[in-house]
Amino acid sequence: MAKILIVDDEAPLRTMLSHMLIADNHEVIVAEDGGQGIKLYHEGMPDLVISDLVMPNKNGIDMILELKRDYPDLRLIAISGGGGITGAFDYLPTAKLVGADSILKKPFGIQELRDALKKSLGN
Amino acid sequence: MTTAISSSLDSSSLDSSTHDSSASISRLRDTVKGMRILVIDDDDLLCQEIKIRLEHHGHVVDTALSGEQGIIQVELFRPQIVLVDWLMSGMNGLDVCRALRKSQLGEFLYIMVFTQHDNEDLLVDAFDAGADDYIPKPISPRVLLARIRAGERLLRLQGEVDRERRDGHRYLDIVEVMILGIDIQGNITLVNRKGCDVLGYDEREIMGCNWFEAIIPQEYRGPIQAIFDYAVDGNMEGLGFFESQLVTRKGERRLIAWHSSVIYDQGKISGLLFAGDDITNGRQADLERKKLAKDLQQAQKMQAVGNLTGGIAHNFNNILASIIGYTELAQELIADSGEKNLMFFLESVHSAGTEAKSLVETLMSFSRGAEGELKAPLLLPVLNDVERMLKPVLTSAVQLNISMRSQIPTVLANPEHIHQMVTNLCINARDAMNNSGKIDISLQHHAHLSGTCGSCHEAFEGEYVELRVADQGSGIPNAVLGSMFDPFFSTKDVGKGTGLGLPMVHGTMHGYQGHILVDSEMNKGTAFRLLFPVTSVAQVEELAIDSLG
């Protein structure tokens, strides 16, 4: 159906998302942080990115900004649990500002994810 | 006799001008080197002769021709030395001595009696009457001058002692420390200016008063009396430094740090001397400093707890995402298999996960403060909604009153948050009242309010709308006041409270830039006062632009 890049530093979450997407017949690529996400995007040219925001090395917001610069038509769903060790700031609204199609607050259900996919991919 | 009197007055025209005031007399004393001497003798000629001789030696002399006149003349002329003839009609010399010693001026007078007696007993009578010396008649001018010199020397010594005493008093008055002396009965024998200032009494009013009764508050009298008795018995250990309150004339309490010591008179304890420092203001400043430090510590604690909570919540959400996600995947996989038990198990995992999710959301509202859409709702309709929602939760014995105490300006808030906060507070109120009593919910506008927040412990000031939830419950113990806004702190039985109600209120209010005041009195009740900052028009517009973007 679609080629989707998952960017998240939490391995269980990457696996779970992969399962969800594969169950719906999507092709999946996974990256562990923003830097790897950019590299895999260049290489794999996915139809859509599902990305966490609070990550080590390169965070999700920076990654979105860089990708948006090179690929203005980028399709992206931002996911985040909100908060973080450094404070309680919620990055989801920021992700929306810098160009995410949808934002999903962790934990979310399959149906929410499917709705977001539908919105981004248009089918 | 008449002429003699007038001549005596004439001859002292210089003196008559000095009778007007004691100030001019003391000026004269400073300018004239000799003594001021009054001669009292009914022998006018003798008076004049003595006057001439003494004036020749630089003294200032006045005369009086009778004892009675002499006493008046002492008052007017203020002599230092009085020479008085023993044998006079009317008051004799010894009568004059006695009268002068009794008068106020008598203390500093040097009195000599002219006498023809050389009988020892009679001479002793003269000294007993108050004479300082006697001059045998007929008067030898040399002896007279020599004895005046002796008197002069004595008076100078007395003057020095007196001056030192006055200087001492002046020094006591200069220092900014209370000095208080008491005798062994506890009567005040000395008080300096600072002591009078602090106490609010005149020196004359307070001197001689019993200090326990006059200035020591009832509850301090016992301990201080004990210290006092111990010291008067000769035990020095009890003395030294102590603090006590005292009551001023106006009834104010002042806190004084006392240094005390024993006064000895000829080897015996004659009283106590206290030097006191008024530390009332210093102590208050100290207490305020300590409170500020405590508030800061509390504020830091709340922030640290907030950060920690944020961190935990983040990780929890990741874990819950897996739990909920995998459960849903599994549910879809077996949806058509007819595995009823498995379906039920998965449904249970899913609903537990969802419950955990809402718990984490509440926790996040503590650390992040309010989120979600802020509106400028009218508060009263929101509260009426709350009342409808709360009815099933409250027993019929709990009465709920909602009132508006003034016109209420708009505030920025999320009506759902208000629902949740008021519900939390009402449930706490219900529990504090053991399910029966009255809960008052009221709204009030404060054009200006300042204070220290009961949860974040920061000082605030400004315009606020107050939403007050007051109960008639058991009140909040002091020990609980400091912790009740901490997440998971609960005084309720395990399973009855989550310990997240008040943290949610704290987080939400501070997300609104608001604050919370808590008034609580044991067995009387508690009022939580939620303070919403009043929305300015500019803020409302900003919010509109934000939501457009």
- Which chain B positions have a beta carbon within 8 Å of A7's beta carbon? none
DSSP SS3 for B88: coil
Nearest CA in chain B to A14: B322
Nearest CA in chain A to B303: A87
Nearest CA in chain A to B304: A87
Burial, B154: exposed, middle or buried (Cβ in 10 Å; 0-12, 13-18, 19+)?
Answer: middle
ipTM: 0.75
Give yes or no for A25 touching B (CB within 8 A): no
Determine the pLDDT at residue B421: 86
Residues facing residue A50 across a β-bridge? A6, A77
pLDDT tens-place string over residues B140-152 = 989 999 999 999 9
Band the pLDDT of B497: cuts 50, 70, 90.
low
Determine which of A82-91, B128-137, B444-453 has the lowest per-residue pLDDT on average: A82-91
- Which chain B positions have a beta carbon within 8 Å of A84's beta carbon? 310-311, 314
User: What angle separates helix B340-368 from helix B501-511, to the nearest 10 degrees?
Assistant: 50
Residue in B312, B314, B315 to test binding to A, most A beta-carbons within 10 Å: B314
- The number of beta carbons lying within 10 Å of the beta carbon of residue B474 is 16
Nearest CA in chain B to A17: B325
pLDDT tens-place string over residues A9-34 = 988 889 999 999 998 999 999 999 99
3-state secondary structure chain A: CCEEEEECCCHHHHHHHHHHHHHCCCEEEEECCHHHHHHHHHHHCCCEEEEECCCCCCCHHHHHHHHHHHCCCCCEEEEECCCECCECCCCHHHHHHCCCCEEEECCCCHHHHHHHHHHHHCC
**Average pLDDT of the segment spanning B206-213:** 87
CATH number of B379-542: 3.30.565.10
Q: Which of the listed ranges A115-119, B249-253, B359-363 does the model predict with the highest average pLDDT?
A: A115-119
In terms of DSSP H, where are the helices of B104-244?
Answer: 120-129, 141-174, 193-199, 203-206, 211-215, 218-232
Measure A26 CA to nearest chain B CA, in Å: 15
The verdict on a CB contact (< 8 Å) between B313 and A106 is no
Determine the pLDDT at residue B257: 87
Q: Does domain B5-165 have CATH number 3.40.50.300?
A: no
What are all long-range contacts of B334-338, with beta carbons under 8 Å and residues at least 24 apart?
none
Q: Is the pLDDT of residue B1 over 90?
A: no
Q: Which of the listed ranges B128-142, B206-220, B271-285 does the model predict with the highest average pLDDT?
A: B128-142
Residues facing residue A5 across a β-bridge? A29, A49
Ordered mean pLDDT values, 10 residues apiece, chain A (123 residues): 93 90 93 95 95 87 90 93 56 82 90 93 78
Q: Where are the domains of chain A?
A: 3-121
Q: Map tokens 């457009």 to a residue.
A: B548
Burial, B170: exposed, middle or buried (Cβ in 10 Å; 0-12, 13-18, 19+)?
Answer: exposed
**Average pLDDT of the segment spanning B514-521:** 92
Band the pLDDT of B500: cuts 50, 70, 90.
confident
**Average pLDDT of the segment spanning B21-35:** 54
Which fold is adopted by the domain B175-278?
Answer: Beta-Lactamase (3.30.450)
Q: Map tokens 């501070």 to a residue.
A: B510
The verdict on a CB contact (< 8 Å) between B364 and A88 is yes
Determine the pLDDT at residue B536: 62
Give yes or no for B372 touching A (CB within 8 A): no
Q: Is the pLDDT of residue B43 over 80?
A: yes
CB-based contacts of B304, cutoff 8 Å, min separation 6: none
How far is Cα B210 from Cα B227, in angstroms, rounded to an integer?
16
Tell how strand B110-115 and strand B398-404 pair up. Answer: unpaired
Of A12, A20, A106, the CB nearest to B317: A106
Of B310, B316, B322, the CB nearest to A88: B310
- For chain A, give the longest Cα–Cα distance: 39
Which one is the CATH code of A3-121: 1.10.1740.10, 3.40.50.2300, 3.40.50.150, 3.40.1800.10?
3.40.50.2300
0.80 cut: is pTM over it? no
* Rounded percentage of chain B residues whose pLDDT exceeds 70: 85
- The number of beta carbons lying within 10 Å of the beta carbon of residue B408 is 18
Burial B349-383 (b: 16+ CB within 10 A, else e): bbeebbebbeebebbbbbbbbbbeebbeeebeebb
- The number of beta carbons lying within 10 Å of the beta carbon of residue A4 is 26
